[in-house]
Structure formats: C-alpha cells, structure tokens
C-alpha cells in the first residue's frame, strides 16, 4: 500500500510496473462516501461526454481487501491512473491535473530545445543528493547508451528482449555479472542499477557500451547473433581495462555500495580472480 493523505491506496507489481486500485484513488481524491458508485457513474459520464471507456484503461488484478482476502479489482498503471484522474471533477484532483499540464508543457519545451531535457535531468539528480561529478558521468552515460541503442536499431534489433540480451553480454564481459546479478549484489530490487553505480562503475559501463557501438559500426554487425559478438567484444575492452586498473590500484571496481538512503553502504570484501 501507499498512503495519500489519510487514505491508503492498494497497489500490485505486475508486468514490470505498478498498478493501483482505481476505487482507492477515487476515495483519496474525492469526498465520496461510496467510491465504487462514484467510479461507476464517472465511467458513464466520461463515455457520454467523450466516448472513452475508462474501464479499458484498467486491468482486473487481485488485491487484498479489508477482510484479508484477495479479490479481482480494477487497477490502473501509473499512466492510466493519471488519465483517470483527469476525469475526476474534484478540487482534490486539481493539483495532479496542474502537475500533468506542467509536465506536458515541459515535454513540448524539450522537443523544441533538447538541451532543456539534460538540464532538468541534472537538476533531478542533484535534488536527490548526488554529487555533481557523478551527475555529469551519469548524464554522459545516458548519451552513450542512447547512441548504442540507436545503432542497434539500425542493425535490426527492435525487440526489448534482444536489447536486454545484448546489454547482459556487455555487462558480463565488463564486470563478470549480468545486470540482474549486479542489482542483487548491490541489494537493489526495482531501482535503476546505474543510479546506484560508483563513478568508476559508470566509467567502465560507458567504455563497454561505447566500444560496442564502435565495433558494431565498423564490423557492420547485422542481427542478434552478430551484435552479440560485438557486445562481447566491446564489453571485453572494458573488462580488460577494469582488471588492469584493479591490478595497478589494488582495489576492486565492482562494489556493493549503493545510494539507497535507508541502508548503510557496504564494501565488497576482497576476493581473488
């Protein structure tokens, strides 16, 4: 559950994203004594006014009720929940509507001037307490990643599963860990792995991906198999550089450290390779 004001909103992790109980959202953003009836009437009103069936935005997922049992409940993803909130004629919903309008306006600005997106990204990380030097590496890493994925798309890689496979190949060759294993090492669950990397981890991630882009381009790799070979080769460039640094510095690059504010940072115990 999450809490909005004094109201609890049930949620469930499904298909790699959060889904929220629509009835609970209605109860939190209106003064209705019967949120289910309010939701029913709101769907009718929206259908009559715009022709949109709000129920099509929802999924029937089992959520635990007040009696401790799980029942099929209309639940909406974050995107769908925001759309539903736009149809709630309640003063409590106005702050959300204004925020959505502001975000939409910012997105239009970023399309006209892409530099604004990077500026806002930097500020977002800075507001979360990340050091400025780290932020610059993270922003640069995003640009390197974007260049790589664009190159993959040109070479016939379209499916998200294939993107994950290739990313895994680079990570294994660079760090000896898949992204899933790396997240487990750092004690992460749904958090973004790269948001919890140290400066050096980010640098070697960038090197592996930049090298993969260069190799795929120069070798004219086409299709998944050829790009897997390029990914392994690119990751090996970064992996070899990582091992050389570790040998010279006497310190491991791979670390359990993370930026989770509610957990103490942990050091990776020494180990031989």
Q: What is the pLDDT of residues 4-39, one digit of tens each?
A: 666 789 999 888 788 999 999 999 899 888 999 999
- For the segment 48-61, the average pLDDT, to the nearest whole number, is 93
* Confidence at residue 263, expressed as pLDDT on a 0 to 100 scale: 44
Main-chain dihedrals φ then ψ at residue 25, nearest 5 degrees? -60, -45
- Exposure pattern of 13-31 as b/e (b: 16+ CB <10 Å)? eeeeebbbbbbbbbbbbbe
Cβ(172)–Cβ(180) below 8 Å:
no
Paired residues of 73 in beta bridges: 61
* Confidence at residue 261, expressed as pLDDT on a 0 to 100 scale: 66
Q: How confident is the model at residue 92 (pLDDT cuts 50, 70, 90)?
A: confident
pLDDT tens digit sequence for 245-266:
999 999 999 999 998 864 434 3
Supply the angle between the helices 223-249 and 199-218 in degrees, to the nearest 10: 140
pLDDT tens digit sequence for 205-234:
999 999 999 999 999 999 999 999 999 999
Q: What is the CA radius of gyration of the chain?
A: 23
Cβ(171)–Cβ(177) below 8 Å:
yes
At residue 270, does pLDDT exceed 70?
no
* Confidence at residue 8, expressed as pLDDT on a 0 to 100 scale: 87
If we measure between CA atoms, which residue out of 35, 33, 6, 10 comes closest to residue 21? 10
Mean pLDDT of the chain: 90
* Confidence at residue 3, expressed as pLDDT on a 0 to 100 scale: 60
Main-chain dihedrals φ then ψ at residue 75, nearest 5 degrees? -130, 150
At residue 148, does pLDDT exceed 50?
yes
Cβ(233)–Cβ(211) below 8 Å:
yes
User: Tokens 């640098």, residue?
Assistant: 203
Q: How confident is the model at residue 157 (pLDDT cuts 50, 70, 90)?
A: very high
And the tokens for 2?
């999450």
Q: DSSP states of 48-71 as a string?
A: HHH---GGGGEEEEEEE-TTS-EE
Neighbouring residues of 80: CB distance < 8 A, sequence distance ≥ 6: 57, 58
Task: Give this prediction's pTM.
Answer: 0.71
Paired residues of 64 in beta bridges: 70
Cβ(208)–Cβ(181) below 8 Å:
no
Indicate the burial class of 199 (C-beta count within 10 angstroms; 0-12, 13-18, 19 or more): middle
- Exposure pattern of 84-106 as b/e (b: 16+ CB <10 Å)? bbebbeeeebeebeeeeeeeeee
């Amino acid at each position: 559950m999450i809490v909005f004001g004094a109201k609890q909103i049930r949620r469930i992790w499904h298909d790699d994203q959060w889904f929220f109980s629509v009835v609970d959202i209605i109860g939190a953003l209106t003064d209705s004594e019967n949120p289910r009836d309010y939701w029913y009437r709101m769907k009718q009103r929206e259908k009559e006014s715009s022709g949109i069936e709000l129920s099509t935005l929802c999924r029937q997922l089992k959520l635990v009720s007040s009696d401790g049992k799980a029942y099929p409940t209309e639940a909406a993803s974050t995107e769908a929940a925001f759309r539903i909130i736009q149809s709630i004629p309640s003063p409590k919903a106005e702050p959300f509507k204004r925020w959505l309008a502001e975000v939409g306006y910012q997105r239009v600005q970023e399309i006209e001037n892409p530099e604004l997106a990077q500026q806002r990204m930097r500020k977002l990380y800075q507001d979360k307490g990340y050091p400025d030097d780290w932020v610059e590496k993270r922003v640069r890493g995003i640009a390197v990643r974007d260049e790589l994925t664009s190159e993959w798309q040109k070479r016939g890689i379209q499916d998200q599963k294939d993107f994950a496979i290739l990313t895994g190949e680079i990570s294994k060759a660079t760090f000896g860990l898949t992204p899933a294993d790396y997240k487990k090492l750092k004690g992460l669950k749904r958090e973004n792995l790269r948001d919890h990397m140290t400066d050096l981890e980010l640098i070697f991630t960038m090197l592996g991906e930049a090298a993969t882009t260069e190799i795929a381009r120069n070798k004219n790799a086409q299709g998944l198999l050829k790009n897997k070979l390029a990914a392994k080769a690119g990751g090996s460039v970064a992996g070899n550089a990582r091992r050389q640094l570790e040998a010279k510095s006497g310190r491991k690059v791979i670390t359990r450290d993370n930026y989770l504010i509610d957990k103490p940072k942990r050091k990776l115990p020494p180990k031989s390779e």
